[in-house]
Structure formats: structure tokens, C-alpha cells
């Protein structure tokens, strides 16, 4: 039942964006600029390993659909904060991440869909893997933050680990 609720929420969010999006270039330029700044704040907090800023870069309730199609839901910032830890990703040798591109694919008065590609790097600026994600960035009370993330990191990591030593992939 809960799984059906997640799917319904995602479909509703995407449909609302489609119905409210305008095809007039520049109509929502201020919203797009604010949404892109929110996306930058998110990766900036991640790279800084700043748990509070990382949590604050998101709106709640917050949802992430992983690369295997599994939804995760956090009702509030406190729930998300309890799970924030950077040790796992640092254990892979990760040093920092950088966007390869950020592209607004839909926008409206209170919501912007941003397609991003980012690369995770090891120390020495050596690429680990690259992946695309879709962020649904929303405005509530004058503040823009990421409400929903859909990414493929788990799938990309599995695909890139084919043929590699399993222990290395697990780290």
C-alpha cells in the first residue's frame, strides 16, 4: 500500500509540473535561477560534508527514488538528519562531486525540474563514476529546495563494477 502511495506521489508531482509548465522561454527565469541555486547548495553541502546544510538543501516531506526503483521517504528534516553520514561514500575513496551539466527541463511558478549529470571523484581528481539525476525543486514560503530526487547511482555503480573485484565495488 505504501509503495502505491509513493508511485502516486511521483506521478502526481510530474503531472502537476507538466500541466503548470509554460512553453514561453524566460517566463520563469527567476524561478529557474533560484532552483539552480538550490541544486548548487545541495552539492556544495555534500562536498563540504556539512550535514546540517545538506539537510537544509531539501524540502520535507522528501523523497528519493534510487537507481533500482526503490523509493525512500523522509517526513521531516529530523528524520533525514538521523541518516546523514558521509563515511560510506568516503569509504569508496570519494573526495568530491562536480556537476557536468544542469539543465532545466520544465519550470513553473513554484516548481522546476532540473536534469543533472554529476561525476564523483577520488582524491587527485580521478573520476569514479558519472550519473544523471532528476531533481524536482520546489518553492515553499519563499525558499527553494529539492523536494524529490530520482537517480541511478546504485545502478551505475553496479554496472561499472561488472568485471571488477567484488570487494572493491562494495567499498
Examine the pLDDT at 44 and tell me if it is beyond 80. Answer: yes
Does 14 or 127 have the greater pLDDT score? 127
Examine the pLDDT at 15 and tell me if it is beyond 60. Answer: no
Examine the pLDDT at 14 and tell me if it is beyond 60. Answer: no
The percentage of the chain sitting over the pLDDT mark of 90, rounded to a whole number, equals: 60
pLDDT, position 166:
42
pLDDT, position 157:
57
Report the number of distinct structural domains present in the chain: 1
Burial class (CB in 10 A: 0-12, 13-18, 19+), 77: middle
pLDDT, position 160:
56
- The CATH number of whichever domain residue 134 belongs to comes to 3.10.450.50
Cell numbers 561514500: residue: 89
d(C-alpha 11, C-alpha 48), whole Å:
33
Tens-place pLDDT, residues 94-133: 899 999 999 999 999 999 999 999 999 999 999 998 989 9
Q: From the CB of residue 48, how many other CB atoms can be counted at a distance below 10 Å?
A: 12
Examine the pLDDT at 167 and tell me if it is beyond 50. Answer: no
The percentage of the chain sitting over the pLDDT mark of 70, rounded to a whole number, equals: 75
d(C-alpha 37, C-alpha 51), whole Å:
18
pLDDT band, very low/low/confident/very high, at 93 (cuts 50, 70, 90): confident
d(C-alpha 112, C-alpha 21), whole Å:
9
CB-CB contact of 97 with 43 (8 Å): yes
Mean pLDDT of the chain: 83
Enclosing domain of residue 101: 2-170
Amino acid at each position: 500500500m505504501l509503495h502505491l502511495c509513493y508511485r502516486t506521489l511521483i506521478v502526481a508531482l510530474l503531472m502537476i509540473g507538466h500541466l503548470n509548465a509554460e512553453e514561453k522561454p524566460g517566463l520563469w527565469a527567476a524561478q529557474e535561477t533560484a532552483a539552480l541555486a538550490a541544486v548548487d547548495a545541495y552539492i556544495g553541502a555534500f562536498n563540504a560534508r556539512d550535514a546540517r546544510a545538506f539537510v537544509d538543501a531539501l524540502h520535507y516531506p522528501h523523497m528519493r527514488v534510487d537507481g533500482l526503483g526503490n523509493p525512500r521517504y523522509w517526513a521531516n528534516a529530523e528524520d533525514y538528519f538521523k541518516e546523514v553520514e558521509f563515511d560510506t561514500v568516503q569509504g569508496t575513496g570519494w573526495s568530491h562531486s562536480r556537476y557536468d551539466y544542469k539543465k532545466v527541463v520544465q519550470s513553473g511558478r513554484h516548481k522546476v525540474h532540473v536534469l543533472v549529470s554529476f561525476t564523483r571523484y577520488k582524491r587527485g581528481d580521478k573520476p569514479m563514476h558519472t550519473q544523471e539525476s532528476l531533481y524536482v525543486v520546489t518553492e515553499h514560503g519563499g525558499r527553494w529546495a529539492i523536494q524529490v530526487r530520482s537517480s541511478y547511482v546504485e545502478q551505475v555503480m553496479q554496472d561499472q563494477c561488472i568485471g571488477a573485484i567484488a570487494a572493491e565495488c562494495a567499498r
